[in-house]
Structure 1
Amino acid sequence: MSFTNELADYNNKKSLANRFRDRRFRFFENQLKKIAPKKGAVLTILDVGGTESFWVNRGYHKNPDIHITLLNLTKAETQHDNMESVVGNACDLSEYSDNTFDLVFSNSVIEHLYSYENQELMAKEVQRVGENYYIQTPNKYFFIEPHYLLPYFQFLPRKTKLFVLSKTRLSRGNKLSMEKAKDKVAEIQLLSLKDMNHLFPRAKIFKEKFLGMNKSLTAYLINEK
């Protein structure tokens, strides 16, 4: 467990995963500075699948010039005036009109939608409701599958994946029930650079590197001031 904690626990600030996330966030903040809010002095962000703690850990709860809407399948309590939690579906944001938000942000969510068709729906909605967007996802062709922490797990046959997850503790030291294993295998659909270019044709792609390989991909469109 200690090795897993050091490698992949985002709540552990010393973990490798958290250091990667912090490095990506510095790139994001450089892009955010280029955006001029359209609604008075407040810049509006829709975070699809995000948490309040993610932004608090980076000091955004102290910034009254930014309002963050956290959209998830369930509502959560928020502790800060510039953040609110709402219930919604990433694939259907019909409650919002075109260009409602200055920016749509999403970190490691689009790969959890069970199908490429759902990923297309999310991408379409993101580009509709946001004047700008920043959508990050792990790279399908990186050698470590980040959800399971196993090399090239994403390319194994479905039966082999189910065996590993339900009969062994090779993935993060856990053994799942067959039902949970089936759901997890169906849920996670990693995307490639080609996929991201197709989903977000107007976007630039930020490629996060590790050992010379693309570890994650971020599609972003920033209309500068």
Structure 2
Amino acid sequence: MSKIKHLLSPSDNPESIGNKFRSRRFFVFESLIKENFPIGSELNILDVGGAAYFWKDKDFLNKYNVKIILLNLEASETGHPQLKSVIGDATDLSEYENETFDLVFSNSVIEHLYTWENQVKMANECVRVGKKHFIQSPNKHFIIEAHYTLPFAQYLPNKLLFDILTKTKLSQTRKWDPDAAKQYLEEIRLLTGTEMKMLFPNSKIYKEKFLGMTKSFVAHNL
């Protein structure tokens, strides 16, 4: 039971399924970086919605002369000299000029912006401030909803899903705090492949596969 709990826990748990998918995705990301930037290059990266733990255990920080800004609604300690945490809004990066960064990176953030209008704003801003970008989002139509690790949860009425989250342990083997569940149900707007292409019309759309199905999409110009 403990092993299952770890597998279904949030992606900051190294033993979770989500973390394993992120590690595999990072391999794809690093392979693309190698094609565009020689080892040892100076890289200035903006990670929209990023977390320090995602980068700290990666050899990537040693391979490149890289500085990464982690932009979130709240700042936090990073514990690493190459990582800096700042407060910002993914939908309004007006504090940065065009092509300020060599790369804008974002992992499972754009689906947390409540509305399509906000997602359009974030996409436009990421493309504007970065010379390159790598923006990932879960596939709306994948059989397992990524945030709840429940099959087809994205198609359930919010009231029913709220009850499942808060009154049972079916999601991540735990009962959710009601306020957290309400917050997630309000903010998550999953994207389809067609919508990702609309948001990033000049980008390549990489499809991350699992058992032959598309688990998530990555829009990039690497």
Normalised by the length of structure 1, the TM-score is 0.90
- 1:190 equivalent to 2:190? Answer yes
The amino acid that maps onto 2:66 is I
Deviation at 1:8, TM superposition (A): 4.1
Are residues 168 and 9 of structure 1, via their aligned partners in 2, closer, same or farther at CA, if it must alter by over 3 Å? Answer: closer
- 1:128 equivalent to 2:128? Answer yes
Deviation at 1:194, TM superposition (A): 0.6
Query: 1:65 and 1:218 mapped to 2: Cα distance?
Result: 24
Q: Which residue of 1 aligns with 2:65?
A: 65
Q: How does 1:66-215 map to 2 (within 5 A)?
A: 66-215=66-215
SS of 1:216's partner is: strand
Contact 1:61–1:80 (Cα < 8 Å) also in 2: no
Alpha-carbon displacement from aligned partner over 1:15-73 (angstroms, at most 9, x marks no partner)? 33222211111110111123349xxx521110001112211111244346111111111
Query: 1:172 and 1:13 mapped to 2: Cα distance?
Result: 15
Figure out how many residues of one structure are paired with residues of the other and give that number.
220
The amino acid that maps onto 1:126 is C
SS of 1:208's partner is: strand
Identical aligned residues as a percent: 50
Are residues 8 and 211 of structure 1, via their aligned partners in 2, closer, same or farther at CA, if it must alter by over 3 Å? Answer: farther
Deviation at 1:181, TM superposition (A): 2.6
Alpha-carbon displacement from aligned partner over 1:155-202 (angstroms, at most 9, x marks no partner)? 111222222223322212333354433221011111110110000001
Query: 2:79 and 2:27 mapped to 1: Cα distance?
Result: 24
Q: Which residue of 1 aligns with 2:6?
A: 5
- 1:29 equivalent to 2:30? Answer yes
Alpha-carbon displacement from aligned partner over 1:62-110 (angstroms, at most 9, x marks no partner)? 3461111111111112322222111101010000000000100001111
Contact 1:8–1:18 (Cα < 8 Å) also in 2: no
SS of 2:147's partner is: coil
- 1:17 equivalent to 2:18? Answer yes
Query: 2:164 and 2:17 mapped to 1: Cα distance?
Result: 24
Contact 1:142–1:213 (Cα < 8 Å) also in 2: yes
The amino acid that maps onto 2:176 is L
Query: 1:8 and 1:221 mapped to 2: Cα distance?
Result: 32
Alpha-carbon displacement from aligned partner over 1:1-21 (angstroms, at most 9, x marks no partner)? 621312444344343322221
Segments of 5+ residues of structure 2 without an aligned counterpart are none
Segments of 5+ residues of structure 1 without an aligned counterpart are none
The amino acid that maps onto 2:130 is G
Query: 2:179 and 2:20 mapped to 1: Cα distance?
Result: 33
SS of 1:132's partner is: strand
Contact 1:7–1:16 (Cα < 8 Å) also in 2: yes
The amino acid that maps onto 2:14 is K
Query: 1:5 and 1:48 mapped to 2: Cα distance?
Result: 26
Q: How large is the RMSD of aligned CA atoms in angstroms?
A: 2.0
Normalised by the length of structure 2, the TM-score is 0.91
Mean CA deviation greater in 174-183 or 76-85: 174-183
The amino acid that maps onto 1:30 is S
SS of 1:161's partner is: helix
